[in-house]
Amino acid sequence: MSDRKEEISYYDLGGREAEMYRAIDEFLALSKRYSPQAVRRKRIIGVVVGFIGAIASLIFMLATSMVLLFLISVLISGWLVVYFAFSYGKTPFPDVLRTNTIIEADGLENVYNDLMHVNCISNTAIYVGDEYIFKKNRVVLRIRDIERTYIRVESSDDGTSYYAAVEVFDDIGRLSIDIKPLSGITRNKRQQMFEELVQPIEEKRYRLKKLEDRI
């Protein structure tokens, strides 16, 4: 685990603390995505893709004489090379920072115990505990930090897509995560599906709000 110590200090503790953190870490795939080896691998891939893009653009320009498109492509490819070569991984990754901040503030055992008793929202990557939401292979969020559940609308040239989503605001900042796509159905069906998806979250929000009001 020595390659993880720089970013994931809980492994240094050993014993039960390390085992509890390992369960959270593996569920959220933090080390898998952000260990030094994973970061190095992504940097290499990014640089290679950037160089390939630049070469492909040059070949395309020679074949079509489209200089402007070539220059735009080279700028994008150059940005990829510079970003992955010199910037990627130099600052804390938001998912790691948010997860570790919550664990440090609320207690490792508290987060671990909640993870051990979560319920999955059917056919999604969202798992709901009493105090936290865990998105598998992503991040943990406090339920009390949720500002709203909503239908996120995303428009593009291909049309409009809809997603059931949750927005939180916590110590790290604002974050929106998708629960499930809602595209390809009627408006009424979309609203009904949205309400069914967010019901477990809203029930826990209501419960926590009632508990806070009693304090």
User: What is the reported pTM?
Assistant: 0.83
38 pLDDT above the threshold of 90: no
Look at residues 40, 41, 5, 43 and name the one whose alpha carbon lies nearest to residue 25.
5
Tokens of 124: 């999604």
pLDDT computed for residue 215 by the predictor: 64
pLDDT tens digits along 127-150: 999 999 999 999 999 999 999 999
Is 95-213 in CATH node 3.30.310?
Answer: no
Query: Cα–Cα distances in Å, from 184 out to 99, 155, 189?
Result: 34, 14, 10
191 pLDDT above the threshold of 50: yes
pLDDT computed for residue 97 by the predictor: 93
Q: Give the contacts of 18 (CB within 8 A, at least 6 positions apart).
A: 1, 10, 11, 12
